[in-house]
Amino acid sequence: MQSRIFTRASLLVRALAVTGVVSMATVAWADVDQGVLEKAEALLKAGKSEEVYQMLEPLEVEGAGDLVFDYLLATSALETNRPSKATFIYERILAVAPTYTGVRADMGRAYFALGDFGRAKVEFETVLAFQNLPNDLRSTVEQYAKAAEARAQDKRTLVSGYLELGFGRDNNIGSSNNADSLTFPAGGTYSPDRKGDNYSTLGLGGELNHQMTEKWGLYGGADYRGRAYQTYCDNTCNGSLDARTGLSYSGGSWLLRTGLTAGTYNLNQAQYRDSLGVTMDWRLALNSASQLSLGGSATRASYLIEANNSQNTQTNALSAGWLTSLGDGSAVFSLTASTGVEIATGGRDDGNKNYWSPRVLLQKSFTDKVGGYVTAGATYSKYAGINTLYQVNRDETLYDLALGVTWTLAKGFSMRPQLSWLKSNSNAELYAYDKVDGSVNFRLDF
């Protein structure tokens, strides 16, 4: 459990503390070799903690008391499985700078590594008491505190959940083309029925994690998402229920999760499509401020109405991502890419579909309660079969952009206004469209 938490949650905490080394440099003693400290800081950011420890430990007598030196030595000790040494040096720093949140959070990590979960919980709760804590850092430290409390009570099973309600407007509920009328090269015409409507959404879900050993764990979870339109609900009101279960394994700086997924999609309160798949997700902490992820999945979708059986598919996908924190740790940037093939197992005339998709995300905390984000992506798709309406192999590119603000109203309760834009370009005009969607969501995490 300890390794898993540190791998997934320490990213923002550690990024804030590493960046803070520069700001502490103004109070460093003059007789410390700044070239050595700069080299040690660069090595620590590169994940070479053992080199940093071996470089600085022999200099402790002359360097002790210099805040930058102490921080670099303590953190390299913590990340090379020397938590007792780390706590001793962190205490030295906090005696001079008791409000330095990054160091206090790392002190909690050190106590956690020692198995002193009670003192770890106290340190994390002390950090949470600070004002103007970035949203992402606060959320991260809350994860630490919850895990420390669970271990202090010898709990091996953790349960979390959420409830989300939303309201919004979609200006193109059927993803229809803008044209008044379309003429197909193969013959025939069609009049798109583009219309907008207000809607409400409901989301709820939860996850259970059980730690069998320090490295092996079990997980299971489920999510429900539903959308109901105010005026035009026929063929648009929908809901989905998705479940997952599997095994997790922590290898120290990396975490592997693999398991099964299952889902069902309802349209107009009737079962429309079922899915079943296998997934694998691997995450590696490259250094104190960045994380790499790799994933793979194979999912089979089956349409339950006989007239739609030709749309049955199996999708095999791969993904890769990179996540890093920026500045003082209050901003997060991620870049992901995915690719895959959607095999037309039902024999649709468009045939198999190959696709690839890049995506970027930037998230920023402005105050302890308000943060913002922007995410953008594109998905390029190429079909192998000949479309019977247009007599071409379909080529499509779907662009998406979303802007949002997250406002924490109370502990575990937040409001999220969001504006999103979609645009599909296609050489088969029927499948070209654009839409704008604005919504406000209220979420309770527990």
pLDDT digits 0-9 by tens, 274-311: 999 999 999 887 765 678 899 999 999 999 988 889 99
Q: Which residues contact 39 (CB under 8 A, 6 or more apart)?
A: 55
The pLDDT-based confidence of 6 (bands split at 50, 70, 90) is: very low
**2-152 and 158-445 share one fold:** no
Q: What CA–CA distance (Å, rounded) separates 5 from 1?
A: 6
Residue 294 confidence (pLDDT): 95
Given a cut of 80, whether residue 332 has pLDDT beyond it is: yes
Report which secondary-structure segment, H or E, holds 363. Answer: strand 353-365
Given a cut of 80, whether residue 182 has pLDDT beyond it is: yes
Per-residue CA distances from 408 to 135, 137, 171, 369, 372 (Å): 8, 13, 28, 5, 11
Average pLDDT score over residue span 85-94: 86
Q: What does residue 352 show for φ and ψ, rounded to 5 degrees?
A: -70, 155
Long-range contacts of 37-45 (CB under 8 A, 24+ apart): 37/66, 37/68, 37/69, 37/72, 40/72, 40/76, 41/68, 41/72, 44/18, 44/72, 44/75, 44/76, 44/287, 44/288, 45/18, 45/287, 45/288, 45/289
The pLDDT-based confidence of 137 (bands split at 50, 70, 90) is: low
**Residue 232 DSSP label:** -
SS (H, E, C) 89-118: HHHHHHCCCCCCHHHHHHHHHHHHHHCCHH
Q: What CA–CA distance (Å, rounded) separates 256 from 260?
A: 14
Show me where the domains of the chain are located.
2-152, 158-445
Given a cut of 60, whether residue 377 has pLDDT beyond it is: yes
Given a cut of 50, whether residue 11 has pLDDT beyond it is: no
Given a cut of 60, whether residue 16 has pLDDT beyond it is: no
Average pLDDT score over residue span 74-80: 87
The residue among 401, 399, 393 whose CA lies nearest residue 419 is 401
As a CATH number, domain 2-152 is: 1.25.40.10
Percent of the chain residues past pLDDT 90, beyond the cut? 41
The pLDDT-based confidence of 128 (bands split at 50, 70, 90) is: confident
As beta bridge partners, residue 441 has: 166, 416
Q: Which residues contact 210 (CB under 8 A, 6 or more apart)?
A: 156, 157, 217, 218, 219
The pLDDT-based confidence of 130 (bands split at 50, 70, 90) is: low
Helices and strands (DSSP H and E) totals, the chain: 9, 16
**Residue 56 DSSP label:** H
pLDDT greater at residue 153 or residue 223:
223
Residue 149 confidence (pLDDT): 73
pLDDT greater at residue 203 or residue 43:
203
- The residue whose two tokens read 């008391």 is 65
DSSP 367-425: SSSEEEEEEEEEEEEEESSPPTTTSS--EEEEEEEEEEEEEEEETTEEEEEEEEEEEEE
Residue 45 confidence (pLDDT): 80
Given a cut of 70, whether residue 216 has pLDDT beyond it is: yes
Q: Which of 179-193, 211-225, 267-281 holds the top average pLDDT?
A: 267-281
On whether the pTM is more than 0.75, the answer is no
CA dihedral 39, 44, 47, 48 (to 10 degrees): 60
**Rounded mean pLDDT of the chain?**
84
Given a cut of 60, whether residue 30 has pLDDT beyond it is: no
Average the pLDDT over each of 113-122, 263-272, 425-434 and give the range with the smallest value.
Answer: 113-122
Q: Which of 6-20, 76-90, 363-377, 413-427 holds the top average pLDDT?
A: 413-427
8 Å CB contact between 277 and 313: no
CATH class in words for 158-445: mainly beta
Given a cut of 90, whether residue 82 has pLDDT beyond it is: no
